[in-house]
A = this chain, B = another copy of it.
Amino acid sequence: MTPLRVLDISEYKKLQKPTRGREEKVVFREHLKKVGAKHSHQRDVILDEFLKQRSHVSADDLYHKARSRDPRIGFSTVFRTLKLLKDAGLAREVVLADGISRFEQNYKHPHHDHLICTSCNKTVEFFVSEIEDLQERVAKKYHFRMKNHVMVLYGICPDCLKSDRG
């Protein structure tokens, strides 16, 4: 059996040159202009906090992070800004097993799948091109035009296995 080539996304991210969100902010400004929306202080702070995140955040997570920087920021603004970030192509929404929407970076952050520990919630992001190819082939077989896909593997991580929490 040929060895499995797994791209470890956290390693990949470490290798990326940090742009400190400069490009993303330009993308956001241009999207706002395109749809006739206005720039605002709150949207700045929310985007900035969102870009700091290394993993997915819920609207509520991001609300608390943004609010700790500026207590005047309300939940609805975070909620509505996340929708804008999605439209601008900066964020991607994923719904995991608990039914809560979470958002992760989409701009120059490649699609990946998740491995989640059901005991401690540790998350590993990975990418396997063979799986992507097979998904494409399934969609083609059924004559679907595939837009996106979600794959989550649930299990017990090595740490929890050791400490008998699993």
Contact = CB atoms under 8 A, between A and B. Distances in A.
Contacts of A161: 143, 145
20 contacts: A4-B141, A95-B96, A95-B97, A99-B101, A113-B138, A130-B134, A134-B134, A135-B153, A138-B153, A142-B157, A143-B161, A144-B153, A144-B157, A145-B155, A146-B153, A149-B154, A150-B150, A150-B152, A150-B154, A151-B152
A124 interface: yes
Contacts of A157: 142-144
A57 interface: no
Contacts of A154: 146-150
A156 interface: yes
Q: How many copies does the complex hold?
A: 2
Contacts of A149: 151-154
Contacts of A137: 4
A151 B147 CA distance: 14
B128 A134 contact: yes
Contacts of A113: 138
A31 to B, nearest CB: 22
A11 interface: no
Nearest to A150: B152
A79 interface: no
